[in-house]
Amino acid sequence: QKEVEQNSGPLSVPEGAIASLNCTYSDRGSQSFFWYRQYSGKSPELIMFIYSNGDKEDGRFTAQLNKASQYVSLLIRDSQPSDSATYLCAVNEEGGKLIFGQGTELSVKP
Amino acid sequence: EAQVTQNPRYLITVTGKKLTVTCSQNMNHEYMSWYRQDPGLGLRQIYYSMNVEVTDKGDVPEGYKVSRKEKRNFPLILESPSPNQTSLYFCASRTATGGLNEQFFGPGTRLTVL
């Protein structure tokens, strides 16, 4: 069974700080990597995806991928209380299936 | 508005009473899937469908059935619900050729089985 692992947290950061969320995966053949944000009781919302090694930036969010080490991370700069949510890492599997990690709870304190 | 809808949004039922959770999308998507989400376990795929009349098991199919008679609808059927099926359920859809970054999730159905 292919696995995606995240630290469940909670990760607590002060407002304005950088939040760093990490994810490791077991399948070396995975090609696509996704970060979802999920507020309590709501559906997951895609915030970043990355296919190539290196960094991808979108506003305050940066996704980092290192295929050799099999990890993908999400950095949130200038964290805001509204960023408080659970962040789900997902990795594609053959056939177009997504494997999700268990999620990391982020709390941004004012 | 492009969306995936689920009904009901909340359901409390008793062990053994058959129930159906409906899922409908208005985007003409070929691929639809059902997930369940439990604390500490993330989202796990129950069943998926590549197109009308084509369905297959995901990672946790036991105790569930699905059907895909129409492209827009993908109901999840629990023939004899048990307490271990208490969970938050999400339906999702995307095109067959679209990337996974174009997957849409429904709003979720919170099911409690007593």
CA distances from A18 to A12, A79, A81, A90, A104 (A): 11, 6, 12, 21, 15
CB-CB: which of B42, B101, B108 is closest to A88? B42
A32 touches chain B (CB under 8 A): yes
Residue B88 has pLDDT above 90, yes or no: yes
Task: Extract the tokens encoding B85.
Answer: 């099926």
Model pLDDT for residues A60-93, shown as the tens digit of each residue: 999 999 999 999 999 999 999 999 999 999 998 8
Q: Which residue has the tokens 């067959």?
A: B96
When pLDDT is averaged across residues A82-108 and rounded to a whole number, the result is 91
Local structure of residue B79 (DSSP, 8 states): S
Task: Extract the tokens encoding B59.
Answer: 């990672």
CB contact under 8 A, B100 and A43: no
Contacts of A58 in chain B (CB under 8 A): none
HSE (side-chain half, CA atoms, 13 Å) at B88: 17
Q: Which residue has the tokens 């979720």?
A: B108
Q: What single-letter amino acid sits at B54?
A: V
- Sheet strands (E) in B14-86: 19-25, 31-38, 42-51, 54-57, 65-66, 76-78
Best B51, B57, B59, B100 residue to mutate vs chain A (most A CBs within 10 Å): B100
Helices (H), chain A: none
Model pLDDT for residues B2-44, shown as the tens digit of each residue: 899 999 999 999 999 999 999 999 999 999 999 999 988 889 9
Model pLDDT for residues A22-61, shown as the tens digit of each residue: 999 998 888 899 999 999 989 999 999 999 999 999 999 9
Contacts of B43 in chain A (CB under 8 A): 44, 88, 90, 98, 100
